[in-house]
Amino acid sequence: MSFTFIDTHCHFDFPPFTGAEAESLQLAGESGVREIIVPAVTADRFRGILALAKNYPQIHAALGLHPLYIAQHKEQDLELLEALLSHRDVRLVAVGEIGLDLYMDEPMFEQQQRLLKAQFSMAKKENLPVILHSRRSHDQLAGMLRQARLPATGVVHGFAGSLSQAQAFIKLGYAIGVGGTISYERAQKTRQVMAQLPLSSLLLETDAPDMPLQGFQGQPNRPERAAAVFDVLCQLRTESAQEIADTLLANTRRVFQLSARE
């Protein structure tokens, strides 16, 4: 049985995909991954991601300033982001990857919050969904989202928090990204959360080349492995594989306002 997937989070502008885009997209397609959303992490990658989306119809772009790079983001990066969002291409579908991270050695948290607020304002103005990064910051992020009241909401990607934290995001209208973490037996908390959440709130992702699946440690993750994440999700859920695949696809199209492709 073949299913259609969208990898909602893949850093396709990094190696090993750089210079091997066509082959990588073909491999992904053979696994059922027909479309990929590529989020930016720094301003110097914005134009490269937009070019990928222009050159390959399978790719959608997301532009944003990632909290892990807080020390290198500059004021002009925000200005460039605002300019690109306001004159946006149809292939640009979200503001991301943005968010909060308290796992870093020097989080510069006030600066992170200021940067995030600025990007929330842009998402609100352009009515674009957001792709959210959150490590050890779920409660703080939920608080900021409550205040921001973004019209297009978005997704909390690579979620590994508690059930109640996931439910708080869902109550605010946000989807939860399911990635390779669920392939690890030791990740019982995350596996249980993904088994219990409403299927209508889940999106499929890889975070490639990061977040390798069980059995692939030490290797770059790849978008075609979204199919393997799906297989594990099917083992954890009670719905049929067909219902899970159809719902994940519909969820993605709804969150990112993507039209169905032939």
From the annotation, which residues make up the binding site for a divalent metal cation? 9, 11, 97, 133, 157, 207
Q: Are the beta carbons of 206 and 193 closer than 8 angstroms?
A: no
Instruction: State yes or no: cis peptide before 16, omega within 30 of 0.
Output: yes
Residue linked to tokens 């066509």:
22
What does the alpha-carbon distance between residue 46 and residue 86 come to, in Å, rounded to a whole number?
14
What does the alpha-carbon distance between residue 67 and residue 132 come to, in Å, rounded to a whole number?
10
Please report, in range form, the residues annotated as the binding site: 9, 11, 97, 133, 157, 207
Q: Are the beta carbons of 159 and 166 closer than 8 angstroms?
A: yes
Query: Letter for the amino acid at 161?
Result: G
Query: Which residues touch 37 (CB under 8 Å, ≥6 apart)?
Result: 6, 7, 8, 9, 10, 59, 60, 61, 62, 93, 94, 131, 256
